[in-house]
Amino acid sequence: MSTLPALVADLVTANRILADQGVVDAFGHVSVRHPEHQDRYLLSRALSPDLVEASDIEEYALDGAPLSAAPRKPYLERFIHGAIYEARPEVQAVVHSHARSVVPFSVTRRPLRPVMHSCATIGAEVPVWDARRRFGDTSLLVCDMPMGRDLAAGLGEGTVVLMRGHGATVAGRSLKEAVYTAVYLEVNARLQMEAAALGDIEFLSPGEIARIRERLGAGAAAEGYSRAWEYWARLAARRHGGAAGAPEARAGAPG
């Protein structure tokens, strides 16, 4: 298990990777469950992910209440994170984004499904959550726990839920897994759109998805989630002048 300072450093790296890979822009956020308190999570104060530093990380209770002595302005949509940690004890990290390539799949009846082996962790068919079904006309933003819990129910036991006319939320058993799935979710959405223009698509089968996930989950330090993380961390660090990512990327636990 990671120590708190190491996990905070990884969370900063996750923010930089997601920005560098175009998953998040000025909006979107990534959290990780507290390593010692299962009923808390770590998340930046309200800030564009690319700007996040270790000193911006705050602790929240699962209901979204800030736990630091002098809390700074939180993300409005932090309830997404706590509601998923509450519903899914095995989930250790959550990414919420307005990734543009997935939005077409959230507003049509064409399901997002994995077309490439690297994208298997998105699951066999990605569900779409629509705030309007239960809450009527809203801003579409997940601004309280009832909305967060409804979204968590939409996620079910999966790794990804699309949000109609809004974006996507990804859950992972580790920060590296959640970041991996969030990046490849965007890749899959683009590839599926291109493939659909050519003709009928042969998607990955549930059996193929299970085998790929098993292999990724069992990955050693230079394989799977860790290998992708180290690569993306290096790219993001280069753009940041080497400020983040490299040291902890090599020391990290598998998966």
Residue 36, number of CB atoms within 10 A of its CB: 10
In angstroms, what is the minimal distance from the CB of 164 to Mn ion?
A: 12
Distance from C-alpha of 169 to C-alpha of 12, rounded to nearest angstrom: 18
Subset of residues 65 to 94 that bind Mn ion, contact rule: CB under 5 A: 77
Mark whether 77 is an active-site residue. yes
In angstroms, what is the minimal distance from the CB of 123 to Mn ion?
A: 21
In angstroms, what is the minimal distance from the CB of 109 to Mn ion?
A: 22
Q: How is residue 219 written in tokens?
A: 């990955």
Distance from C-alpha of 67 to C-alpha of 40, rounded to nearest angstrom: 9
Residue whose CB is nearest to Mn ion in the complex, by number: 77
Are β-strands 29-33 and 93-97 bridged in parallel, bridged antiparallel, or unpaired? antiparallel
Q: How is residue 140 written in tokens?
A: 């579409």
Identity of the residue, 76 or 193, whose beta carbon is nearer to Mn ion in the bound complex: 76
Q: How many positions of this chain bind Mn ion (CB under 5 A)?
A: 1
Identity of the residue, 58 or 77, whose beta carbon is nearer to Mn ion in the bound complex: 77
Distance from C-alpha of 74 to C-alpha of 96, rounded to nearest angstrom: 14
In angstroms, what is the minimal distance from the CB of 77 to Mn ion?
A: 5
Identity of the residue, 10 or 77, whose beta carbon is nearer to Mn ion in the bound complex: 77
Instruction: Considering the candidates 77, 177, 186, 248, report the single residue annotated as catalytic.
Output: 77
Distance from C-alpha of 62 to C-alpha of 98, rounded to nearest angstrom: 22
Instruction: Give residues in contact with Mn ion (CB under 5 A).
Output: 77
Active site residues: 77
